[in-house]
Structure 1
């Protein structure tokens, strides 16, 4: 008698089958009642033809990314669907894609606890570990609690530090109109300022190639760029990420980054021990520091190490903040100056606004009062949101307020295990929100524009970016100082002034920011 003919085996298989059928039936009935309770309607808009693996949509996305037109392809998809919410899949994983402000508000705020970061955690972990950008639940809450006090200080905007690095930045910008790529310089500038803010020691990457490269700093600067680029590759390859090109190079870059940051972590832990020992001897804070600096000198890592001495946790949080501190501001500046180079009249208007400074560096209060500078930053962040698309994974059955029904106006059921992708790039360019010129760089629109969830350059809800004021202050400061230094600027873009996407972890100009600048 065959093994499968055994009555015991057949009974067991029957019980398992009945159990599965029973659970499926219970799930179906529960979800049917849930949909009825919330008035959900099905979404008839599905963007893929392959019914098994949705391979056509995946191939299309990979090809568009290779051609540096993924943002344009995403826009074409929404236009083809005729609504701002649709269904698709990534291999076998169900996705809902949306550019509806109310849906984004629901995911990021109203039903925040219904979602997690999903597979992003695994993808980002080698570099970011369990830091604030790569954790959920209690772990994320603890990270935010740890970091928040360090972003609630006036010392956060260290304008003196910015000014030191501005001097180095200016050395790399020809004053006679010779072509220069500002975006490359902005990424060096923000790395230098971010490392000084975090570690009280700058990489000084703007000195590379001028006074001789510092080996450790040079290796770290290169490794950090390689490691962040590899994260995007892993995300695109998904379950097949181990087969991606450059895997070994990416892993080595992560090790280099960790080793570099751990040096400062170890120094900070030692600093705390020595400080506590000196305090135990009854010495004052300034004496306890024993560094020649006053105790009111703000150093991020010193503030952090006073809250925890967990070496891995300190490293992870610092790398997370460094990633945001460098990439966010540099991308904003690169895209902003790409647009300003196309509009000489706007450049002249901005120079007139900051002329009140008479060439002096702005104070924090003066910086906040330059409305046109602020409008320009808002407009750059609108057209080119630093994170143009993001995702959340539904960890329980939930609902989006829009996307269901023929007209897309009914609530939409989101089963547990579904990824919701939200698209600020598309949402920020909706003509029904921003007008028929939504694709144009027009800072004056911000004179009367009032936005809520239609504009999320720094995300929103409980996970809204802690460092947004730092980024805006730094970007504003750099803009003002360059306005003061250069009378005019010309675009030297190789694509005739037509912006091309450069998509890594942030959105920058794919061809750089090639300009000629002329000093007064």
Structure 2
């Protein structure tokens, strides 16, 4: 029975160790002027908050759930609460929509925060090691590899954009008499790049890529129990995604310098092969940039079409601006340049407003890499700093931040591109993140989306939402998209038929 005294002794040591570290952290927090945070009500483990998140996911209301939590705590505390503690599946997280705290994590205290191990657990099975899954030197290497893809010269080359746009246009045939298209799921066209009006087979890569992202988001919600989400289907989906990309990687690795076609265009995969011949790294870099380039821009365009269909006055104002700046729809698109798109002010206002209300990445997370603090959220008035131990997870939501009335006025929930006239913003508007990890492809995405909007509104003089009575619901995986298909009818301008 000698193990009983040993067990008691070990238990005492653990208790003493816990008390010691609690005292050390309390002293440090006090010396930094930190104060306590309000907590979102849940059970001891945080099972209720998981159930709440899974239910909201099923209902298509996750971003609204985040807003509601902020509102409920604000009512309870009788003040605006923008930062609070919340427990989910055994992990105590901090949630914030306070621009000062977001700025600290992404910029002024950048070195105190990292993506952390959970990002690896959730994204790595599908994406591998890349800009969205790594920290430190691995992240710096990935960013350096991606940077040449987003030079001014690359962004300004819109000829390839026109080729892909025309493929999408073939999926929008019009009736020769009425000049209306049929009822069209524009979201499918933008995300799947349908060719010649055809439909993709059910086992196409894009379907597996979307399903893989759903598994990624579910792993994140299960926190420490993320492994519960991994199953036969998730592994099969990842294998399909990897096999598809590996085809291109292997072809690039086998191609000799003499085999490469003469071209003045920069090709990302060819540039990667010149730096590394590791097939796993090549696959990972391609998947990371695919996620950044496909889903975020398609999300922006899908929300744009939905808002244009539901706000005819905005549609007419934007179309009039586009016709004044770029002329009517013709095969010649030379006037639509990077500089001209940037100079089209109302087009930029429109995209700003889309990204304010429907940011492509509405919620993100950082982990404290060492003991540190955030500037606001503690104390009775929420103005005191808050203390973070090493390993503390902090979620931040630009979706909630960008809809706060305190930051964007009483009409913050209203879609109104005119609010951007002569408006300057800071950390309250972050659709492309900020600090050293600011999105490399920001100008690329805005240029692509702006180009597509110009060409669409040159060709079509009206867009109708087939289901205008439907409430907007959300699908949130790694990006934010409408849950229901965006089904519209588009009317071709008479000038197009005459060309």
TM-score in same-fold range (> 0.5): yes
In structure 1, what is the equivalent of residue 102 of structure 2? Answer: 104
Q: 1:302 aligns with which of 270, 279, 284?
A: 270
Give, in whole Å, the separation in 2 of the partners of 1:174 and 1:69: 34
Out of 27-36 and 119-128, give the one that drifted further. 27-36
1:241 deviates by 4.2
Which residue number corresponds to residue 436 of structure 1? 410
Partner of 2:472: 499
Structure 1 position 292, deviation (Å):
4.3
Decide whether the 8 Å contact of 1:335 with 1:384 is kept in 2: yes
Name the TM-score, length of structure 1 as normaliser: 0.86
Within-5 A mapping of 1:79-478: 79-82=71-74, 83-118=81-116, 119-175=118-174, 176-189=180-193, 205-207=194-196, 209=198, 219-244=204-229, 247-271=231-255, 274-275=256-257, 288=258, 290-294=259-263, 296-355=264-323, 356-358=325-327, 359=329, 360-361=332-333, 362-478=336-452
TM-score w.r.t. the length of structure 2 is 0.90
Answer yes or no: is the 8 Å Cα contact 2:50–2:221 preserved in 1. no
Q: CA deviation at 1:357?
A: 2.2
Question: Could you tell me how far apart the structure 2 residues matched to 1:42 and 1:206 are?
Answer: 56
Stretches of structure 1 lacking an aligned partner (at least 5 in a row): 190-204, 276-287
Check whether the contact 1:94–1:417 (CA below 8 A) recurs between aligned residues.
no
Q: CA deviation at 1:450?
A: 0.9
Tell me if the contact between 1:129 and 1:316 (Cα under 8 Å) persists in the aligned partners.
yes
1:108-165 Cα shifts (integer Å, max 9, x gaps)? 1222222222312111111111111011122112211222233224124431111111
Task: Answer with 19-28 or 387-396: which moved more.
Answer: 19-28
Residues 404/438 of structure 1: CA separation in 2 closer, same or farther (3 Å cut): same
Quickly say closer, same or farther: Cα 1:293–1:463, change in 2 above 3 A. Answer: same
SS of 2:204's equivalent?
helix
- C-alpha distance in structure 1 between counterparts of 2:8 and 2:485, whole Å: 64
**Cα distance in 1, alignment partners of residues 361 and 112 from structure 2:** 22
Contact residue 296 and residue 479 of structure 2 kept, 8 A: yes
Counterpart in the other structure of 2:177? none
Query: Could you tell me how far apart the structure 2 residues matched to 1:310 and 1:357 are?
Result: 45
Cα gap change, 1:484 to 1:120, in 2 (>3 Å): same
CA contact (8 A) 1:93 1:418 kept: no
Shift of 1:89: 0.7
Q: How many residues align?
A: 475
Q: CA deviation at 1:239?
A: 4.1
Aligned to 1:412, the other structure's residue is in SS state: strand
Structure-2 separation of matches of 1:485 and 1:441: 24
8 A Cα contact 1:85 1:403, kept in partner: yes
Q: Using the TM superposition, give the Cα deviation of residue 13 of structure 1 relative to its aligned residue in structure 2, in angstroms.
A: 4.9
Structure 2 unpaired stretches of 5+: 75-80, 175-179, 494-499
- Say what the alpha-carbon RMSD is for the aligned residues: 2.1
